[in-house]
Amino acid sequence: MNLNKLNDYPSPKTTKYLLIFSLILYIVIYPILGFYFMISNYPVGFIESQLSFSGEIIKSHLRTMSKAEIHLYRIAQLIDYIYMVAYGTLYFTFGLYLARKFEKDTGFRKTGLFAALFGLISACCDATENAFILLMLTDPQGFPNIWAITHSCFALVKFILIGIFMIWTISAIIALLIRKIKS
């Protein structure tokens, strides 16, 4: 994969604007998303649900909810798509910003460009995961269990990619701080 285009594209100015826009969107949309998840009364947390790998477990969660609560949960899933745009763009642009702080052809620069892409790819995995949630909500007690398994597979990949991105980001910040202290 040729990542050299990411050295200059999007331009540093565009990257900066996208970073600021995505940070603002993230800050605005996260509480709204959290509010809708909260009032839906979904009985367990995100990770427990997303990594259940079981249709029966998700059906048992949905069984505890009224039709109105399931509708609110559906709205939360739709709002989550805006959140995905926010965090996918935020991780991508912040990864690019940090990677470009390193000299070309260095390990941190090259791995940083990959890490930046992981932000976008994780958001795409999240979008696919949500599509399966929306499918499951069309028949909360009768959906095929494979939908829950597929949903969890995409969630797992998302979490792994975000984890790799976070580890790279922390490592890059430490490396930049060390470089600054030495100079």
Look at the chain and report how many structural domains it folds into: 1
Reference 80, options 125, 113, 48, 112; nearest CA is 125
* Mean pLDDT (whole number) for 56-78: 98
CA 21, CA 13: separation in Å to the nearest integer?
12
pLDDT tens digits, one per residue of 106-137 = 999 999 999 999 999 999 999 999 999 999 99
pLDDT digits (tens, 9 = 90+) for 12-51: 999 999 999 999 999 999 999 999 999 999 999 989 999 9
CB atoms within 10 A of CB 161: 22
For residue 84, the enclosing domain spans 4-182
Integer CA distances (angstroms), 81 to 11, 25, 28, 62, in order: 26, 12, 14, 21
Return the structure tokens found at 151. Answer: 């949903």
pLDDT value at residue 1: 62
Its pTM stands at 0.93
